[in-house]
């Protein structure tokens, strides 16, 4: 498969995954709403005629509409929310040599990648890191920390920027930004469910055990309780599942972005040394939160998992092992020295 066909296939796959992700997110909200409606319907089915009977699926209608609205908001406003959450500020007029070099490098890599120049942002954090976000190549953003500008030389900074431009060209940014926004929303909903459960348990704690004559439930009531339990389990486990999904999506794209960056710069060794400096620097990157960790070039939460291989690293690390990425880039640099050609894959 040629590099061009591989790129187009990657872009098509990312568009499909973005659409599937939105559909899953809306379906999750529909289940939160209609699942709750179904549970309450069965629990109130055998209630006395004068008691409340839950027959109209208000929860489902409201939750589905809310899910659609949030998915639309994440699609349109996700990049700005990600940048806002990190405290990044947009670099419009460089005021230091490091800032001017950053602008120059971004413009060079925009030309090398054939993309419009993205908006440039700086994150006020001393730990070296970087990420790209955006909806498409016409509305893309590259953000780096202050620590990255100080730590890397020009070739290494160029390699890091090329990696982020590769994410933009491969349409990774839309999918990964969408994931960041939706994972955050699901986490908020789950936290709300936990609080409701805690408040409910506290309110029942001061009451007596059973009330006379109220302990029997028919089959419909028992079925309703089972559905409500499944509904609550879904709410509580959703953040874990969505986070693992985000991590899996991120890890698979880092290798491709490394290889594409080497194609842009013709200097895979520079990216290898840049990643080594980033890995060896102090962590975590305090300005970047857990929900957006998968966007970064290196794990901003600490390097304990990404420095290892194995089941835990594969399941919970935001990135593939840095040692593996560096070794692949060094092998690519060796092949480039021998043949004068950059391999299509790391």
Residue spans of the domains in the chain: they are: 3-77+175-203+217-242
At residue 296, φ and ψ (nearest 5 deg) are: -80, 160
Buried b (16+ CB within 10 A) or exposed e, 55-67: eebebbeebbebb
Task: Express each pLDDT in 193-251 by its tens digit.
Answer: 555 555 544 444 544 444 444 444 456 667 767 777 777 777 666 666 666 666 655 56
CA atoms within a 13 Å half-sphere pointing along the CA-CB vector of 1: 10
From residue 232, alpha-carbon distances to 61, 70, 228, 238, 327 in Å are 18, 21, 6, 10, 45
Above 90 in pLDDT, residue 157? yes
Both tokens of residue 181? 């926004």
pLDDT digits (tens, 9 = 90+) for 293-311: 778 888 777 655 555 555 4
For residue 26, what is the enclosing H or E element? helix 3-30
- DSSP for 218-243, please give it: -HHHHHHHHHHHHHHHHHHHHHHHHH
pLDDT (tens digit, 9 = 90+) per residue, 318-338? 677 888 889 999 998 888 887
Nearest in space to 294 (alpha carbons), one of 244, 258, 342, 255: 244
Which residues are part of the catalytic machinery? 164
Question: What percent of the chain has a predicted confidence (pLDDT) above 90?
Answer: 25
CA neighbor of 303 nearest in space, from 329, 330, 276, 327: 276
The answer to whether residues 127 and 145 touch, using CB atoms and an 8 Å cutoff, is: yes
Q: Token digits for 146?
A: 């202050």
How much is the pLDDT for 213?
42
- According to DSSP, the β-strands at 119-123 and 140-145 are parallel
Residues 6+ apart with CB under 8 A from 126: 145, 146, 147, 150, 282
- E strand or H helix at 247, and its extent? helix 219-265
Mean pLDDT check: name the lowest of 5-14, 95-104, 178-187, 225-234.
5-14
Note the pLDDT tens digit of each residue in 113-151.
999 999 999 999 999 999 999 888 888 999 999 999 999
Highest mean pLDDT among 46-50, 162-166, 238-242: 162-166
Q: Facing residues of 131 across strands?
A: 143, 296
Beta bridge partners of 142: 120, 132
Share the mean pLDDT of the chain: 76
Q: Between the CA of residue 259 and those of 132, 179, 267, 272, what are the distances in Å?
A: 16, 23, 10, 11
Instruction: Assign 8 a pLDDT band (cuts: 50, 70, 90).
Output: low
Give the DSSP H or E segment for 132.
strand 130-134
Burial class for 215, CB neighbours closer than 10 Å (0-12, 13-18, 19+): exposed
pLDDT the model gives residue 282 = 63
Q: Residue 142: enclosing H or E segment and its boundaries?
A: strand 140-145
List the beta bridge partners of residue 90: 121
């Amino acid at each position: 498969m040629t590099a061009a066909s591989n790129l187009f296939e990657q872009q098509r796959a990312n568009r499909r995954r973005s659409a599937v992700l939105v559909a899953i997110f809306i379906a999750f909200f529909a289940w939160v709403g209609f699942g709750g409606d179904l549970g309450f319907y069965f629990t109130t089915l055998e209630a006395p005629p004068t008691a409340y009977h839950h027959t109209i699926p208000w929860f489902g209608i409201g939750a589905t509409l809310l899910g659609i609205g949030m998915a639309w908001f994440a699609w349109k406003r996700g990049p700005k929310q990600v940048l806002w959450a990190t405290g990044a500020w947009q670099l419009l007029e460089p005021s230091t040599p490091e800032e001017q070099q950053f602008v120059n490098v971004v413009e060079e890599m925009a030309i090398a990648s054939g993309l419009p120049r993205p908006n440039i942002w700086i994150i006020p954090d001393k730990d070296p890191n970087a990420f790209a976000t955006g909806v498409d190549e016409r509305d893309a953003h590259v953000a780096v920390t202050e620590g990255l500008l100080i730590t890397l030389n020009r070739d290494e900074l160029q390699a890091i920027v090329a990696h982020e431009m590769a994410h933009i060209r491969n349409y990774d940014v839309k999918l990964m930004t969408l994931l960041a926004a939706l994972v955050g929303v699901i986490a908020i909903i789950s936290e709300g469910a936990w609080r409701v459960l805690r408040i409910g348990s506290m309110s029942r704690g001061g009451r007596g055990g059973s009330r006379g004559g109220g302990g029997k439930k028919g089959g419909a009531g028992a079925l309703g309780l089972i559905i409500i339990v499944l509904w609550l389990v879904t709410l509580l486990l959703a953040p874990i599942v969505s986070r693992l999904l985000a991590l899996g999506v991120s890890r698979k794209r880092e290798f491709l972005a490394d290889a594409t960056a080497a194609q842009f710069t013709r200097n895979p060794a520079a990216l290898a040394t840049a990643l080594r400096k980033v890995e060896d620097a102090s962590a975590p990157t305090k300005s970047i939160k857990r929900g957006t960790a998968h966007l970064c070039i290196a794990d901003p939460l600490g390097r304990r998992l990404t420095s290892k291989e194995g089941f835990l690293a594969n399941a919970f690390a935001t990135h593939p092992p840095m040692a593996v990425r560096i070794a692949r880039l060094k092998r690519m640099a060796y092949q480039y020295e021998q043949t004068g050609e950059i391999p299509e894959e790391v």
